[in-house]
Homo-oligomer: A and B are copies of this chain.
Amino acid sequence: MPDDETHKAEMQALKAEQRRRVTEAGDPDRGLVLVHTGDGKGKSSSAFGVIIRALGWGHRVGVVQFIKGDWPTGEKQFFDKLGGQVVWRTMGEGFTWDTQDRTRDTRTAQAALAVAAEMLRSGEHDLVVLDEINIALQFDYVTVEAVLAALEARHIRTSVILTGRNAKPEIMDYADLVSEMREVKHPFQAGIKAQRGLDF
């Protein structure tokens, strides 16, 4: 009976081998892991745009929002109206500087990750968006190891988009694609407020 550490190392090697074989086989339907990060706009909105593409092809989509609370957003209202085509779970309770309660934020983020892990594993979704999960990682509400484990255990056909600034290097290493949104010029600098239908 191997000890825990040995067992863990063996399992990791096995997973790495499985992953290598799948990649080399070049399964054209293998789900990809995409990261949208950077300090610019477009991280979440481009994920919503990819959702539209997926829905256009009849794919099934899941969304878990890690940070955003229950306030109305255009995207939420739009997808609600669509009915069952998108499973949408808003788990966050607001930005961390709003709640100022680290214990609650940690509990919320971990509950969100549990929901996300089940979505990824189930094979019921062609695309799963983990919105603002990078923020939850940045504040150590969830661990890199737990997120990587959930990604690794996903159904082979399920693609994932992880959004949020300051993506962890381990997550970017694991990803198939990393896009960085860079802010060249921003209206808030010019004193223009966030606008309905553009920014939320």
Contact surface of A with B, Cβ cutoff 8 Å: 23, 26, 28-30, 32, 34, 36, 38, 40-42, 44-57, 59, 73-79, 81, 126-127, 159, 172, 175-187, 190-193, 195-200
Contact = CB atoms under 8 A, between A and B. Distances in A.
Contact of A42 (B32, B181, B198): B181
A132 B91 CA distance: 35
A184 B37 CA distance: 10
Contacts of A126: 197
Contact of A78 (B53, B76, B127, B187): B53
Where chain A touches its partner, the secondary structure class is: mixed
A59 B180 CA distance: 29
A28 B199 CA distance: 13
Given A56-B78, A76-B56, A192-B176, A198 B41 contact: no
Given A49-B52, A53-B198, A196-B57, A185 B191 contact: no
B49 A44 contact: yes
A175 B41 CA distance: 14
Contacts of A40: 179-180
B190 A184 contact: no
Contacts of A159: 195, 197-198
9 contacts: A48-B48, A52-B74, A53-B73, A54-B197, A159-B197, A159-B198, A180-B182, A180-B184, A181-B182
